[in-house]
Structure 1
Amino acid sequence: MKHLATFLLAAGALLFAAITVAQAQQTQQDETRLIAKDAYVYAFAPIANYQTWVKQATEPNAPEYVGGFNVFRHYAQTFTPDNKDVVTPNNDTPYSWAWLDLRAEPIVLTVPKVPEDRYYVMQLIDLFTYNFGYVGVRATGFDAGSYMIAGPNWSGEKPEGIKQVIPAETDIVGILGRTSLNGPEDVENVKAIQAQYKLQPLSAFLGKAAAPAAPAIQFPPYDKTKATSHDFIGYINFLLQFAQPTVPAEKDLMERFAKIGIGAGKEWDAKKADPALLAAIDEGVADAQAQMAETAKKTLSSNGLFGTREFMHGDYMTRAMGAEKGLYGNSIEEAWYGGFVGDGAKPSQLHFKAGELPPARFFWSLTLYTLPDRFLFANPINRYSIGDRSKGLVFGADKSLTIYLGHESPGPDKEANWLPTPEGKYSLVARIYGPEPKAIDGSWKLPVLEPSK
């Protein structure tokens, strides 16, 4: 009997130990799943950004290639329905693209003086997709100037001839320039302004010897299957090496992410990972994707999805939604976006009461796109957008403005204000450049689409 009791006690102890181990393993897997979920949401925008810039800056055979790092590629043509290479194109502001490698030394952006009826902006975007700085008529005025963009490891005094030093948290950053275009006849004027946008290494700007070149980089090709699986860890590890030192606000976060293999420049090989760990990461990725899908359904406006790190205040889901809805949106103080879906089979109108036109410091526009492809709509009068720069708009006697939307002409007396639509569903996108405070705070709203009268 004594031996039996001893045996039972030993067996009980072993069972308890086994249960304890199993509980510890389950706890670890649960923690891994939660970390993976948060890490996937965190990494979504930087990886979506990488999908764009790796082609533009490093793949000469890609149609998107801009020429490498530290150079501009300008686009000054007007879009028509024949242009199918980009969705929701606009003819308001042709683009100037550049990607900067700041590892060796800062890059100086020089812009020309422009007349006060010419809008332009240089939006500065870091690897996390934060809008970390602006140069342009709203932010820096209409005069010429040179602005130094410096990486996270640069230190020193502002050099002579530099109006402002704009610090970046990442060694690779993007510039998305936009220059206002006032119709096809204005293309050559836009080209002349774009030709004066200049990028130089700081050493060249100062007339000094060039800094030693930074080490060559092997850029991994973007693979959507990998980017949306546990292999997202390989991409974020690659990108984090360009964001050192880690900003203070994310040190604890990075320590937490390290538990599943995330770290700046750290090797990731799923084949070498513990199967239980990998399974928990996969579950976390699926959780993140499900949560993002639900959040996307509720995210109906792009306003508030883009801005500085301070503006986004650690909300990585909102940052991910910005990348999901469309990368590189302007901060709301630079541009306001809105719109709705309409049906061209039902003639409609958008009525702005007197004093309630889109509150723009610079200009506003309404551009119409087909659905679901979101291209410009081919129509007999070749009108793809309408706005305060449109010639011949007819205002009411009370200074109100009515825009007519429909597949058929609203009649000769209203055709000046007609934006032709397809017979079926369409998307109308409103853009306000230099929005006034009442657009930013939401006290001004886009009118509701109503049946034509």
Structure 2
Amino acid sequence: MIPSRRLLLAGAASLGGIGLMASCGPKSQISAPPSDDDTAGSSDPRTIVRDAWIYAYPMIMNYATLAKQTLDPANPGYVGGFGKFRHYAQFFTPANRDIVTPNNDTPYSWAWLDLRAEPWVLTVPAAQAGRYYVHQWMDLFTQIFGYVGVRATGEGPGSYLIAGPKWNGPPPAGIAKVLKAESDIVVDLGRTSLLGPSDIAALKAFQAQYKLQPLSAFAKTAAPAAAPAITWPAWDEKKWLGPEFIGLLNFLLQFTQPPAASEAGLMARFAKVGIGPGKPFDLASLSEADRAAVIGGAQDGQAALKAKIAVTKSSIGLFGSREQLGDDYLKRAVAAAMGIYGNAAEEAVYVGADQDSTGQPLDGASRYEIRLAKDQLPPAKYFWSATLYELPSRLLSENSINRYSLGDRSPGLKFGDDGSLTIYVQHDPPGADNQGNWLPSPKSGPFNVIFRLYGPSQPAQTGGWPPPSVRKVT
């Protein structure tokens, strides 16, 4: 997902609109007085709650998607429950207004798995010539625990075992690789390249070859006993992003056992404020002092996230595995707020511009040029694209030729004699000679241009390919 102003503002609105009302009830104590034996941060209850809110935020936003996609058949995003793919094979236009920063490069394939009873197996076909695909697997923390795709596992067919934290058995014959998650509930966000509107039928046929099945079905062995039924909490954004977040965090922690060894101290610290796998939590039953600590800590967590978002300018380094992110839980929260489920930099990099070379906002009333010297062309192994979005909506811009992006796969793209590429960003046609390099903008109003690099070079993965300058012509 692309870090987007609309996503960012929506998150901020959610944070700012949390109700902090708490009813009175029987008094209890959530934490002992501060002690001298704390080795991991402050033992002040409000500070612990702040840190726990930041830790929980990506899990909570991930649960919001889980609830919509697996628990609510009436939701437009419902995928059919656990263990099923829902494929999208659509060429987005300005008429599609339900998804911000829509991506015409790689339509999605979504699936959620419950790994408590047994692992599952993903089987993929051989890649077609020119067809890029990737399956990005994430745990309940939103950490990426594995990739299957042309970059990570090659272009041949294969079967990959997706296992939860408690599984330690050897894989059966026919498994190319084991992807081990830190949680029993995981999500696969698949992306498959769309080569243009005429490619939709072929894309659908390729997506249909992605297959999910339990390990017992793959190995043709007896199925294990079913895991106990889960009573899922109803999704309530205001509730779960407020001081009652501890209740949802405790519920989700049940599916992340055993905890990572690196978090033993953190979990012991969180336990002082009533946080633990499956523990009940009732804000109203807390003592007045403890309730104030929880309410204040949640507010402090929200403020810390807003402040960090305000100074975050790039998606590079926000997404990745536990090894890549370490214990930077605020970074993980920023990633969830700005564009949850973004790719790690080794898979794809997104950079953009919403200002011209003089620092002025891009506006459809003006004409611009983006000139890329031969040695400045996007360094992408697979392909790259530049897509224009109107602001603040982050939606595609209607235009006379129904063109919403340009890239190295675009027909009619012309390069200069020196190998350079000039993209003409303007509302009116730039003339017949430059028509193939025209990226239409709105007649007026702000917009931005997002470059997506698939299979970026090593320097690009660490910010070594800055977004090209946008020069105002008139």
Query: Within 2, Cα distance between the matches of 1:302 and 1:440?
Result: 10
Match of residue 64, structure 2, among 32, 46, 51: 51
Amino acid corresponding to residue 168 of structure 2 in structure 1: S
Counterpart of 2:452? 431
Matched ranges for 1:91-106 at <5 A: 91-106=104-119
Query: Within 2, Cα distance between the matches of 1:228 and 1:446?
Result: 34
Cα displacement (A) at 1:441: 2.8
Matched ranges for 1:30-429 at <5 A: 31-341=44-354, 342-422=362-442, 423-429=444-450
Cα displacement (A) at 1:265: 0.8
Q: SS at 2:331's partner residue?
A: helix
Contact kept in structure 1, 2:124 and 2:211, CA below 8 Å: yes
Cα displacement (A) at 1:444: 2.3
Normalised by the length of structure 2, the TM-score is: 0.89
Counterpart of 1:449? 470
Amino acid corresponding to residue 385 of structure 1 in structure 2: S
Cα displacement (A) at 1:116: 3.7
* Structure (1 or 2) with the larger CA radius of gyration: 1
- Structure 1: 4+ residue segments shifted above 3 A: 24-30
Counterpart of 2:12? none
Amino acid corresponding to residue 53 of structure 2 in structure 1: Y
Query: Within 2, Cα distance between the matches of 1:46 and 1:427?
Result: 30
Query: Within 1, Cα distance between the matches of 2:176 and 2:190?
Result: 19
Amino acid corresponding to residue 208 of structure 1 in structure 2: T
Cα displacement (A) at 1:49: 0.6
Contact kept in structure 2, 1:360 and 1:432, CA below 8 Å: yes
Amino acid corresponding to residue 199 of structure 2 in structure 1: D
Cα shift readout 1:419-438 (whole Å, capped 9, x = no counterpart): 11111101211100000112
Amino acid corresponding to residue 373 of structure 1 in structure 2: S
Cα displacement (A) at 1:27: 9.0
Q: Taking every aligned residue pair, what percent have the same amino acid on both sides?
A: 55
Query: Within 1, Cα distance between the matches of 2:415 and 2:34?
Result: 69
Counterpart of 1:7? none
Cα displacement (A) at 1:144: 0.3
Contact kept in structure 1, 2:60 and 2:241, CA below 8 Å: no
Contact kept in structure 1, 2:121 and 2:213, CA below 8 Å: yes
Q: SS at 1:413's partner residue?
A: helix
Cα displacement (A) at 1:38: 0.4
Equivalenced residue count is: 430
Instruction: Give structure 1 stretches of 5+ with no counterpart.
Output: 1-23
Cα displacement (A) at 1:76: 0.4
Instruction: Give structure 2 stretches of 5+ with no counterpart.
Output: 1-31, 37-41, 355-361
Normalised by the length of structure 1, the TM-score is: 0.93
Query: Within 1, Cα distance between the matches of 2:74 and 2:433?
Result: 51
Cα displacement (A) at 1:379: 0.7
Q: SS at 1:343's partner residue?
A: coil
Query: Within 1, Cα distance between the matches of 2:350 and 2:438?
Result: 21
Query: Within 1, Cα distance between the matches of 2:350 and 2:139?
Result: 22
